[in-house]
Amino acid sequence: MAIKSKIRELQEKREKLLLGGGEQAIEKQKALGKGTARERIMALLDEDSFNEYDLFVEHDARDFDMDKKSLPSDGVIIGSGTIYGAPVAIFAQDFTVAGGSLGLMHSRKITKIMDHALKMRMPLIGINDSGGARIQEGVNSLAGYGEIFFRNTISSGVIPQISVILGPCAGGAVYSPALTDFVFVVDNISKMFITGPEVIKTVLGEEISMEDLGGARVHSEISGNAHFFASSEEECFAQIKKLITFIPWHNGQKARPFDPGEPLKKYNIDKIVPDDPTLPYDVKDVIRAIVDKSDFFEIMEHYAKNIVIGFGRMGGRTTGFVANQPLEMAGVLDVDSSDKAARFIRYCDAFNIPLITLVDLPGYMPGVDQEHAGVIRHGAKVLYAYSEATVPKLTVIIRKAYGGGYIAMSSRHLRADFVFAWPAAEIAVMGPEGAANIIFRKEIMSSDDPDGTRKQKIEEYKQKFANPYVAASRGYVDAVIEPEETRRFLLHSLAVSEQKSIQMPEKKHGLPPF
């Protein structure tokens, strides 16, 4: 029958294309510890869920002998599938085909799946492994990037956008990931830079390796471009799958609920925070003592560690956590931690994820370096993000809440819906030592025993102001609670906030300080 031979013809054509750039190029890819584009998609998606589109797309470039070259599927695979049943649109650049470089048809395949994701309201995952703009295609390649950046921006806040860097990501190619919500990198495999070592050597005369310039560790620890760091592609895919379980498919819905579960007994909330207020503790243990099954999914773990951000579930519902980390620089807000927190707050707000903020900080970081790096501008991002957020906002003041830090960390004044304080909370304009030295300076200086008087005045100040009760007497704090009551108060507050609805003044858009 004719149809049978046609089916065979299709199968043969497919088989040829499925080999991408050929066995030799695939071997080279494997030798670097990298999977092929198709293997990566299969590893990420539910079994048998992938539907591929545009397998037969070919480039039509003519210059530089391109008319003599066949580039299977033009070096990128696109399609849709599911992750734990959640629909996702996906593309994966195929480095075995012209180094995954981006020509016109390659970019059209990517923009097609981006349009599809936006129209169908599902998350978009892009696996980047590419030498950047296909040099032979000139301005067509640049146009392709522009079309991608535009769609990244238009889709921002509507559907989740996830970028996975699994190879080089060079030149303009880096800006698409930078416009997306979450960037995943893998040690020794991911490389991101706007200009490579060769150009840097020519222009600046400096020698630097690709790894030191823009490897996975650089972007996870120093630049803040990456949100998740993994040691292998497998670990990276497990992280992406987990993330997908925490977020909604689009901004018109909430994340899917999961089976709730109590925190593990080993995280005893009464024992985590030391009695001595000068001693540090790991705020992640406090989060684990609060969230369902103690399962906290941290984001940007290795960057600006003085603030902790991530997802957990409360009563089965995804919740975003923002917490000062007393283990790092006493949990201060500085340029990088402000930036990290503000973006996460805006993510949660865009995707209907309630926010829980845990406060313990001495304030914004003082000093010439921070002032010159723009701590005012960056610090203001936190004020802006919390003020603007309309999702339920719950705050727990654990210990110190001084000065601007008190206001910035989701205070009542920025419209937190519920503010709780533990009994050891100190809510004041500044720390007792600094405050006593300023307001009692004359008494201390003129005293026969300045040290003794200073100690006495510090104690006096502590008694009067460094406690939660002054704020509670004004209603800035809704309840002073025992640590052990925290989960119960938060669960109740989240339950009564389910239908929260507030109107903001109409405007085209605000002007956050970015």
Q: Which is nearer to ligand HXC, 174 or 416 (CB)?
A: 174
Tokens found for residue 305: 């560690």
Task: Look at strands 161-170 and 191-193 and give their pairing.
Answer: parallel
CB of 133 to ligand HXC, least distance (A): 3
Residue with tokens 């997802």: 311
Q: Are 454 and 426 a contacting pair, CB within 8 Å?
A: no
Residue from 424, 408, 413 nearest 462 by CA: 424
Q: How far is the CB of 235 from ligand HXC (least distance, A)?
A: 23
CA pair distance 292, 313, nearest whole angstrom: 5
> Which residues contact residue 146 at a Cβ distance below 8 angstroms, ignoring those fewer than 6 apart?
none
- Rank residues 43 and 179 by Cβ distance to ligand HXC and give the closer one: 179
| 174 versus 365: smaller Cβ distance to ligand HXC | 174
Which of 98/244 has CB closer to ligand HXC? 98
Interaction site with ligand HXC (CB under 6 A): 98-99, 101, 131-135, 142, 145, 168, 170-173, 196
Q: How far is the CB of 129 from ligand HXC (least distance, A)?
A: 9
CB of 297 to ligand HXC, least distance (A): 32
Nearer to ligand HXC, 170 or 427 (CB): 170
Rounded CA separation 148/134 (Å):
15
Closest separation in Å from C-beta 148 to ligand HXC: 9
Minimum CB separation of residue 95 from ligand HXC in Å reads: 7
Sign of CA dihedral 353, 381, 480, 329: positive
Number of other residues whose CB lies within 10 A of the CB of residue 461: 21
Structure tokens at 187: 């040690």
Q: What is the nearest approach in angstroms of ligand HXC to the Cβ of residue 140?
A: 11
d(CA 175, CA 214): 14
Closer residue to ligand HXC, CB minimum distance, 195 or 387: 195
> Please, what is the minimum distance in Å from the beta carbon of residue 172 to ligand HXC?
2
- As given in the structure block, the two tokens for residue 422 are 């533990």
Alpha-carbon torsion (65, 70, 76, 79), positive or negative: positive
Site of tokens 């169908």: 120
CA 241 to chain centre: 15
Closer residue to ligand HXC (CB): 101 or 357 = 101
Alpha helices per DSSP H over 156-232: 175-179, 197-204, 210-214, 216-217
* Secondary structure E strands in 171-283: 182-186, 191-193, 228-230
- To ligand HXC, the closest distance from the beta carbon of 509 in angstroms equals 24
Q: In the complex with ligand HXC, which residue's Cβ is closer, 169 or 471?
A: 169
Closer to ligand HXC by CB, 28 or 441: give it: 28
Backbone angles phi, psi at 335, to 5 degrees: -55, -55
Q: Is 146 exposed, middle or buried (0-12, 13-18, 19+ CB in 10 A)?
A: middle
* Residue 96 C-beta: closest distance to ligand HXC, Å: 8
Q: Residue 312: is it exposed, middle or buried by C-beta count within 10 angstroms (0-12/13-18/19+)?
A: buried
Nearest approach, Cβ of 132 to ligand HXC (angstroms)? 3
311: phi then psi, degrees, rounded to nearest 5: -110, 145
The answer to whether the beta carbons of residues 121 and 250 sit under 8 Å apart is yes
CA separation for the pair 279, 68 (Å, rounded): 69
> Whose Cβ is closer to ligand HXC: residue 98's or residue 408's?
98
Q: Which is nearer to ligand HXC, 168 or 468 (CB)?
A: 168
